[in-house]
Amino acid sequence: MWTAVADRDPRAPGFAFADRRCIVSTEDESAIERLAAALDLDGIIAPGTDWPVAVAARVAAKLNLPHPIDPATGILATNKLRQREAFAAAGVPQPPWETVTDGDVTLPVPCVVKAPDRQGQKGLSLVRDASELAPAIAKARAESRNGVALVEGLVDGPEVTVIGYSRDGVYTALAVTDRIVADPPAFGVALAHVWPSQHGGGAAAVAQRGVEALGITNGPTYAQLRIGADGPKIVEIAARLGGGHDGELVFAATGVDLNALALAAAFGDGPEPAISGEGAGGAVTRFLVPPEGTLESVSVPEDLQGVAQVRLYRTPGHRFGPFRYGSDRAGAVLAVGGTRAEALERAEIAADRIRFVTADAGALA
């Protein structure tokens, strides 16, 4: 087996694992289609970001390649407004919401404003005061592909993630994690995923209803929910692996090789996930946030190997700006333990001992 990896960034970390490096944007659908046709692939997968999921589904359909979701499902999986409509039609618990172009907003603050067709945190704002609402809507509309902003009521409660996998319409919730997130200006960016969840009772069942409402019958899913006073409500669902090193965390927690299952789904086959019970008692993905500036060096003590697995995303020369998006993170540690508390302690020990040296922060202002 060989792999071709596409990314517009010549220094993308994934290229280190590729047999063929393809410097092309994963959002450039025509270029991806030409590339896939030229390479004579057996399958195509968009594992890490939202918008390319729909691109991969459409390209796979055009080239008659197997794919876990069809193009119509790909649209639902990558457009937050279409998701809201599908959830409403199926009666899936979700926050109150409305779309805005240039009219008044009826939802009260605090609320969340986002671009419905953008990935990550582009155009995303937490509005705590009415004076912040108009700028947040303008920001979301500027980022949106169709000029529409999506306004959602803020569910007051903790965030959880449900990592799932579907095989021929049978859904399995593999892990429910507590999602520790940053405050503005990096609102919504995960700082850590902690398993097992202390807050996620009932979240797996609601996530399953959401996955089924979107018509996702095969492959991995990543559901974000907030736990309100009246129960879990879905923030969004992605038909892909999550950005919290989900495959590694699920393997540590349950013994299920989610990365292998995701690849198998891309090839149109694969077994049903069987949780072995051989995992750890606790597992944590803890992201690393560097100081602003140009990265000069990273120091990782050798004895951390017995404490946590370390993943670094950037090499010297990369310029870190203010922490605003998930792509501003410098890496992550994966720690396991006999208990949740022990895994958390090991993750913090590892993160505290990794040193990032940066310079010229003022040049980035």
Residue 365 confidence (pLDDT): 43
Q: Is residue 18 part of a domain?
A: yes
**Tens digit of pLDDT for each residue in 156-166?**
999 999 999 99
Does 119 map to a domain? yes
Q: Is residue 166 part of a domain?
A: yes
The confidence score (pLDDT) of residue 278 equals 67
- CA–CA separation, 202 vs 228, rounded Å? 11
Residues 129 and 108 sit within 8 Å (Cβ to Cβ): no
Extract the residue ranges of the chain whose pLDDT is less than 70.
Answer: 276-278, 361-365
Please name which of 92, 78, 286 lies closest in space to residue 208, comparing C-alpha atoms: 92
- Do the domain assignments include residue 330? yes
Q: Are residues 147 and 163 in the same domain?
A: no
Q: Is residue 124 part of a domain?
A: yes
What is the domain extent for residue 231?
159-266
What is the per-residue pLDDT for 361? Answer: 64
Q: Cα(219)–Cα(263) distance, rounded to whole angstroms?
A: 9
pLDDT at 123: 87
Q: The CATH number of the domain where 190 resides is what? A: 3.30.470.20
Please write the tens of the pLDDT for every residue from 295-322: 999 999 988 877 899 999 998 999 999 9
Number of domains in the chain: 4
Main-chain dihedrals φ then ψ at residue 143, nearest 5 degrees: -85, -25
pLDDT of residue 40: 87
pTM for this predicted structure: 0.93
